[in-house]
Amino acid sequence: MVVFDSRNSHFEYIDVTRHWCPRSERYAGGDALITFLSDGWAMSDQVYREEHWNSGRVVNVYYFELKRDDETIMMAVIANPFVDRLVDESELRVMPMAVTQRERFRQQQRSTEVIHRTA
Q: Is the pLDDT of residue 99 over 50?
A: yes
Q: Is residue 91 part of a domain?
A: yes
Higher per-residue confidence, 1 vs 31? 31
In a domain, 65, yes or no: yes
pLDDT tens digits, residue range 33-77?
Answer: 988 888 899 999 999 999 988 888 989 999 999 999 999 989 999
Q: 81 in a domain, yes or no?
A: yes
Q: Is 35 a domain residue?
A: no
Please state the domain count of the chain: 1
Q: For 55-115, where are the E strands, in sequence order?
A: 57-68, 71-78, 93-96
* Domain presence at residue 7: no
* Domain of residue 78, residue span: 46-95
pLDDT at 104 over 60: yes
The pLDDT of residue 60: 94
- pLDDT higher than 50, residue 114: no
CA-based nearest residue to 4, from 90, 93, 74, 95: 90
Domain assignment of residue 104, yes or no: no
Residue 25 lies in a domain: no
